[in-house]
Amino acid sequence: MPVFQLVTADGRYPRLSAEEMDALDGRGARIVDYFDGPEATYYLRDPEAVGFRRRQHETPAEVTMTDEQKAEQKAERRRVIANSKAWDSAETVRRTFVASLVTRKALPKNAVQVIAAGLTTYRHEVGRAVQEGSPLAHEFLGVARERGYYSDALGQYAAATPTKAQHVALAVVLGGIEASLSRESWRSAQPEVAEYLRQLAAWGYPLSEVEQLIVNTDEKRRAARDADDDADDADADTAAAETDTDAAEVDTATVEDGHEPVTADPSEDPEPDPAEAA
């Protein structure tokens, strides 16, 4: 058995020198000559006979969880499983809504702004989907996807029906964003995902609980950031006020400790009377 898979009887990792390995019964070695030099892997035929045992994937005693921590971990695992299943269900409903949205006769008034956001804020998500041929956009619009690297069914569809050009653009953007979402989305609650869901809700889509969780988490983070910014502004205002007060005290001290102010120009004093001088 490889030595790197062994621990001592009390659970410590062995740190054996070459001399210590030579002293063990049932030892062996496998040497592989790599580009940067030979590397040896040591083995023991009967580890227990020489005071070692196979390493188990177990938690050390000093970090073993309490019963309360175990219960919390199980509860969190159940929550993750439940929310992940809920996300899968919500995804089907959400994409059905998006498909109905991009096939309406009239798109929402702010569709152009959303398309612009797709080319800027969501450029990475949309770009990846475009490189793959925008499969969800085909699905949303009901356009059969052709095989082949140079296939362009969406372009042909837009060219054949010029009035649907904006529909195609919106489908490509929303399809790209949708393709970037996964079960991890509700756990990370990224601001861009929350904004996307808020936009769908503004268009009439009823958010599920797991989708609302993303929005709520994002709003809490925003509120916390705003509170921190307000606190920083207040500290800055206080520091500025204290600086102004210190400057005023310095000016006052200069007046109190300085010489008497000059009220007249000495050069304008009258010449002394010669008679008085005599």
pLDDT, averaged in runs of 10, over the chain (278 residues):
76 73 79 70 79 66 71 92 96 98 96 97 96 95 86 92 96 98 93 97 98 96 85 71 65 56 51 52
Q: Do 83 and 123 sit in the same domain of this protein? A: yes
Q: Report CA 19 to chain centroid distance, whole Å.
A: 50
Q: Which domain holds residue 165?
A: 73-219
Helix crossing, 123-131 with 165-180: angle to 10°?
Answer: 100
Q: Report CA 146 to chain centroid distance, whole Å.
A: 36
Q: Give Cβ neighbours of residue 114 (< 8 Å, ≥ 6 apart).
A: 108, 170, 173, 174, 199
| pLDDT at position 150 | 76
Q: Do 24 and 131 sit in the same domain of this protein? A: no
Total of domains in the chain: 2
| pLDDT at position 42 | 75
Indicate whether this model's pTM tops 0.95.
no
* End residue of a domain, out of 219, 245, 265: 219
Report yes or no on 255 lying in a domain: no
Q: Do 105 and 166 sit in the same domain of this protein? A: yes
Q: Do 37 and 107 sit in the same domain of this protein? A: no
For 115, 117, 163, 205, 278, the CA distances from 110, given in Å and listed in that order, are 9, 11, 17, 15, 101
Report yes or no on 227 lying in a domain: no
Q: Do 41 and 135 sit in the same domain of this protein? A: no
Q: Do 203 and 80 sit in the same domain of this protein? A: yes
Q: Do 123 and 214 sit in the same domain of this protein? A: yes
3-class state of residue 54 by DSSP:
strand
> How would you classify the pairing of strands 52-54 and 6-8?
antiparallel
Q: How far apart are CA 86 and CA 80, in angstroms?
A: 10
| pLDDT at position 238 | 74
Other CB atoms within 10 Å distance of the CB of residue 154: 22
Q: Do 192 and 104 sit in the same domain of this protein? A: yes
**DSSP 8-state secondary structure symbol assigned to residue 2:** B
